[in-house]
Structure 1
Amino acid sequence: MTDIGDIRTLIARCAHLCDRERHEQWIDQFVIDDFAYQVVDDPSPGGDGSYQGRDEVLAYFRAAASGDWRATHFLSEPVIDVAGERAHAATDFALVRLADSQPAEAGSARTTADTADIADTADIAGIADTAGIAGQRYEVAAAGRYEDDFVRAADGRWRFTARLVNHLPLTASQPARAQDAQDLLAAGSANE
């Protein structure tokens, strides 16, 4: 496989492990002790924050996956740049989850502000709510972009060194905050 193919597979593997709540396997895809993980505009129970290293990131991940906050990732094709032993990727994502067990009537309006905001996000992401099997409904719970930095580890495999999870705002009144993983790494090394 090529470097780009290996990195693409790594990004997809992380999404699959996250969806299945395989915390330990998920965290093993990162450079274990010295990586940065930042989350912006997070609608999950984990909330916004900057996390450094295995323990902090695992604590965030477990909080974000708690309760009924379970979803499936849909990823765009990542844009990957490789420069020797380092690489950067930008990947758009949408998290889709079961909304409720009642089918909505055709043309009916949403009844709560939260689901209306999520529907707005779905429109932004180009994904609409879909009626599922036996009347189940799905909604876009979150959408945004992953900005990832990678390094080729001593074993020859690519590993994440930083991930910025930049969510789209769920309401029109929330401004999007653009940042990339390079800024995150620079901020982290300035704090050392």
Structure 2
Amino acid sequence: MLWELAPKIQSRLEVRQNASDATGREYLDLLCIGPSTRTAIEFKYFTTQWTGTAGPVPEEYALKSHGANDLARLGFVSDIARLERFARPDQNGLALLITNEAKLWTEPKQGSQPTRDRDFRIHQDRTLTGRLLWGGGDYPRNTRNLRGSYPTDWQLYSLQDGPRGEFRYLAVFTDPQPTPELHTR
């Protein structure tokens, strides 16, 4: 579809990144290369159980529940942090999550018990920024540091028949890395 909509944009899947702080091989899901800028894209697709028919040519679906909402949040926030790390002066980023799991876009009820992923909540109108601690910091491996500030604004993606047939997406954009200033005497 990208080639049809923007034929001058080159696209590459699973592009290896060579970040200086990489702990191993790291890959982007999609890299789009235009005449003057690039966009790095990370995708997440997280589902809860839904069965139905959808599409212009009707197709049967039987989606399973992934179940671990906390890990979906961690994975999405990790994608944002990765896009920041991979940033270049000519490259912005896009973290995209599509889901029919309403618990991801719905704010927790007042008075509910604190959860280990409370810093990673991505419900509507939340802002992700700064140091995010997993379990209040008791699992440092899952700590994420975000340089930017990212408001969450969920949008309707698709509305299907039946329970859990509402699909929404969350798109978070990261800015290019500023060009280092040259100091002269």
TM-score above 0.5, yes or no: no
Between the two structures, name the one with larger relative contact order (CA 8 Å, sep ≥ 6): 1
Which structure is higher in strand share?
2
TM-score by length of 2: 0.29
TM-score scaled by length of structure 1? 0.28
